[in-house]
Chains A and B, each alone.
Chain A
């Protein structure tokens, strides 16, 4: 009897051991395909984001600091400064929300890479609201002609002559909302074909 019980439990545990990684894999496929068509990512400087890189290069941006209110920020002292956004699939639009402060800054721009080298499409960063001491600006981009390398799109924060004017841009957070057409059942055969083509 005891042996029969153990055999039954062994079968049940084995089934669970097979189901858990299978479901995890399907969850990962779902996360990477983004069937809803919308992916949001936020980098608040307190912890690393899997989708938004740190600001670089380190010589142009200071280390992460904390202000009196306990808000984390990073100061840009020389422009341009870059960050990369990981794109699990192709997206058509990017909506970026920047929380920042500026000091002695005439022109503050945000752009995305459209070709190799320093080929960027810039838009002016214009604040639309305030959150305490921080200004909030929203910038929209059409990613149709974005230059994507290793599933990453590079963005640049720029303010010409920033170092010469002794200016400073403090970044508190970067939020990115990526959009594409949601996936439907009709897209499944196309996805399977693409996957098989890539393998073989």
Chain B
């Protein structure tokens, strides 16, 4: 039983680390694309839906924030 709890905690910690990485990488990606968009209008928005990247940033950020303390259980 102790092993099950330990494994569950490992998977939970692993998942939260991944979500945290998704947040950082998607935020950096959005920022870079937005900067290029400012420099050359249409650089990204003509080919991509930037709202989807922003949605990913917000969703992963919120999950990271909500479960922040639990990461270190």
Contacts and interface: CB of A to CB of B under 8 A. Distances in A.
Q: How large is the interface on A (under 10, 10 to 19, 20 to 34, 35 or more residues)?
A: 20 to 34
B58 interface: no
Contacts of A10: 14, 17-18
Contacts of B26: 21
B11 A88 contact: no
Interface residues of B, number: 25
Interface stretch (A12-20, A129-137, A138-146, A176-184): A12-20
A92 to B, nearest CB: 19
B18 to A, nearest CB: 6
B34 interface: no
B67 interface: no
A69 interface: no
A20 to B, nearest CB: 8
B10 A3 contact: yes
A17 B33 contact: no
Interface of B: 7, 10-11, 14, 17-18, 21-22, 25-26, 28-29, 32-33, 36, 39-48
Interface of A: 2-3, 6, 9-10, 13-14, 17-18, 21, 24-25, 27-28, 31-32, 50-51, 86, 88, 150-151, 198
